[in-house]
Amino acid sequence: MYNKFVLKVKKICPAPGYILDIGCGVGHDLRYFQECGWKVYGIDNNAGKIEKAKTSCGVNGVQVGDILQLPFRNEFFNVVYCRNVLHYLKIEEIPVAINESLRVLKKNGYLFFMFFSTKDKARHGNTLFLSEQEVDGYFGNWTLIEKAEVSVEESHGGSGLHEHTFWQVIGKK
């Protein structure tokens, strides 16, 4: 089953067009977007995951890259999508990542970001958790379409089902 965040893209900004998935991992969401009719592009800084995205998920247009320096020209994409990646950055890198995302987005294009909230119950490690005040500060430069705090039950790493709380922020350039 697809995660609910991809369905928001379908609802708010349906295909066709050019979509970039930043931190695409093994490409599950890109495969969905490809099936929806998008021309898909993805980057991830993990070369093994990019290889899997090509071989297991059958998505082309993926390459190794860093959110802090996107290998694309200005104003190329209709949608920039970034799920569960921002919280792996250092706090001072967040504005750089957001500015890069805006740079490669066309005017009137849409940004979809999902990342951990400070309300997350399973907080761990060096991961970043952002408060509402921080979200308002970092995402203040564009037209906000939706800002929601959502709780999702997940199972990964063999630790059974546990609840995570995320911000889902959707904006328009």
Ligand X SMILES: C[S@@+](CC[C@H](N)C(=O)[O-])C[C@H]1O[C@@H](n2cnc3c(N)ncnc32)[C@H](O)[C@@H]1O
Q: Which residues bind ligand X (CB under 6 A)?
A: 23-25, 28, 43-46, 49, 66-68, 83-85, 88
Q: Which is nearer to ligand X, 31 or 49 (CB)?
A: 49
DSSP string over 36-78: HT-EEEEEES-HHHHHHHHHTS---SEEE-BTTB-SS-TT-EE
d(CA 22, CA 9): 14
- Residue pair 67/90 in contact (Cβ under 8 Å)? The answer is no
Q: Which is nearer to ligand X, 85 or 135 (CB)?
A: 85
Q: Residue 29 belongs to what H/E stretch? A: helix 28-36
- Residue pair 166/150 in contact (Cβ under 8 Å)? The answer is yes
We find the least distance from the C-beta atom of residue 27 to ligand X, in angstroms, to be: 8
We find the least distance from the C-beta atom of residue 107 to ligand X, in angstroms, to be: 25
We find the least distance from the C-beta atom of residue 84 to ligand X, in angstroms, to be: 4
Q: Which is nearer to ligand X, 108 or 127 (CB)?
A: 127
Q: Which is nearer to ligand X, 9 or 85 (CB)?
A: 85
We find the least distance from the C-beta atom of residue 49 to ligand X, in angstroms, to be: 5
Q: Which is nearer to ligand X, 25 or 171 (CB)?
A: 25
Nearest of 166, 117, 168, 111 to residue 142 by alpha carbon: 111
d(CA 9, CA 171): 11
We find the least distance from the C-beta atom of residue 173 to ligand X, in angstroms, to be: 21
